[in-house]
Amino acid sequence: MSSQAKYLFPSLEGGSSRIFNICARSAELVDAMREDGDDSEPKFLFNTQELNQSILVKEVRTDRKSARYHYANTVGTKLYLPYNPARPYEGGKSAFLDDPRIQDILLDHAGIDTGSRSAKVKADLAIIRLLDEIPSLDPFLVKDKLRVEGVDANEFYFEISDDEWHAIKAHVSDMLKPVIDFAFQDSEEMQRGRTMAFVAKLWDTKDITALKPIVAAFNLPPDEAKGIFAAWKGVMYYDYEYNRCRSDWRTYGTWLEQDAVPLDFVEPESKQHLLDLIENVRTQYSTAMTELQDIFSSYESAYETLFVERKDSAPFIDFMRKAVRSYWILGTKMSAINHSVTVWEIMTARSFKRRLKFEQLFELLELQRGIFDNS
């Protein structure tokens, strides 16, 4: 198995917020319809079949100068077109979406001319571009982005239950209510009890005109308001996800500290290489966790100071102005931890107390180092 296959296989099999495995979801959709005796045409995500057999991967660029989102981490979106959709980790063609090579790859492997005037081609390319505008490929963010932008996508592609969707929406809505009340205060709109109507507008980030009082209250640049509000909602989602995953991540952190040791005898030279690798992964994991905690602590403190204690608004205004950058950093770091934990869970699942022999442990840690290096 190639190094690329080793990197992709555990993630594709187990799921990761860095990866949107469109290929697998399309195949599962066909299988589900067949089992139900439904012989109608499947409602795939794309009009182009080759794109329905593709995989999107969030990666940090090695050439940071080319980053589209230079104000945050240099994360980009790669389109991966496997040679064999049934075994996608065996090889394929890939490139970042803004890499000039992507035009040739789309034409040669998907028959898509990026200059085409075809409505179907334009719709497909629009979906890809929309998914390039979010820092990670969590099912919630993918579904919400396409929904807000008016893309009628098949729910089958989003591995998120109705209960989880509504729980996240309730969390975000609860955080938005005090903001609406603060911005509108004693206006006639609030006297009519329209808080929830404005929460809905802020949730969708579409009707910026109706949200002008919020833009003014926090002195935001009007032309950047939509992006700031969308990023802020993303931060609130990541806050929800962080609290949901924190216990599992801590279990992984404990394993790194206590159980990332080989079961078998290791020659001194090899053991030193292993110890260096363990220390590298521990440090990168700890650093990523610290960055997350710093952002969330700053946000929660600013929110509480203004909306709970009714004191200084400056920290929250500062947060809003930095929301886009925070959103991309959170997405990149949380995806790296999520990816690393996913690989760890899969590769240690059959081992007692998740303890591994030297070769298996070294392979796992090399994969994890690569994951963190790519964040």
What does the pLDDT read at residue 186? Answer: 61
For 334-359, b/e burial (b = at least 16 CB within 10 A) is: bbbbbbbbbbbebbbeeeeebebebe
Residue 238 confidence class, pLDDT cut points 50, 70, 90: very high
Average pLDDT value for residue range 32-44: 94
User: What's the farthest any 2 CA atoms get from each other in the chain?
Assistant: 76
pLDDT of residue 13 exceeding 80: no
* Residue 137 · residue 21 · CB < 8 Å: no
Q: What is the pLDDT of residues 123-132, one digit of tens each?
A: 999 999 999 9
Question: Across all residues in the chain, what is the average pLDDT?
Answer: 88
- Supply the pLDDT for residue 51: 96
Measured CA distances, 29 to 50, 173, 202, 221, 324 (Å)? 15, 32, 33, 43, 34
Model pLDDT, residue 62 = 67
Q: What is the mean pLDDT of residues 209-232?
A: 89
Q: Percent of the chain scored above 70 by pLDDT?
A: 90
How does pLDDT run across 71-94, given as a tens digit for each residue? Answer: 444 788 999 999 998 888 788 898
Q: Which amino acid is present at 102?
A: I
Residues 265-291: pLDDT tens digits? 999 999 999 999 999 999 999 999 999
pLDDT of 263 over the 70 cut: yes
At 262 the pLDDT is 94
Residue 332 pLDDT level (bands cut at 50, 70, 90): very high
pLDDT tens track for 286-319 = 999 999 999 999 999 999 999 989 899 999 999 9
DSSP 196-244: HHHHHHHHHT--TTTTHHHHHHTT--GGGHHHHHHHHHHHHHHHHHHHH
> Does 2 have pLDDT greater than 60?
no
Band (pLDDT 50/70/90 cuts) for residue 150 is: very high
β-bridge partners, 80? 55, 94
pLDDT digit string, tens, across residues 152-196? 999 999 989 999 999 999 999 999 888 888 887 765 555 455 677
| DSSP annotation string for 318-349 | HHHHTHHHHHHHHHHHHHHHHHHHHHHHHHHT
- CA distance linking residue 67 with residue 73, whole number of Å: 8
Q: Which two tokens stand for residue 57?
A: 């991967």
> For 55, phi and psi rounded to 5 degrees?
-135, 135
Greater confidence (322 vs 91) lies with 322
* Chain center to CA of 161: 17
Please give the Cα distance from 105 to 139 (Å, whole number): 26
First to last CA, the chain: 24
Please give the average per-residue pLDDT across 239-256, as a whole number: 95
Tokens 């209250």 found at: 217
Q: What average pLDDT score do residues 347-375 get?
A: 91
One DSSP character per residue, 32-73 reads: HHHHTT--SPP--S-SSHHHHT-EEEEEE-S-GGG-TTTTS-
Give the mean model confidence (pLDDT) for residues 199-217. Answer: 84
Asked if the model's pLDDT at residue 65 lies above 60, the reply is no
Q: What global pTM score does this model have?
A: 0.89
Give the whole-angstrom CA distance, residue 138 versus residue 271.
37
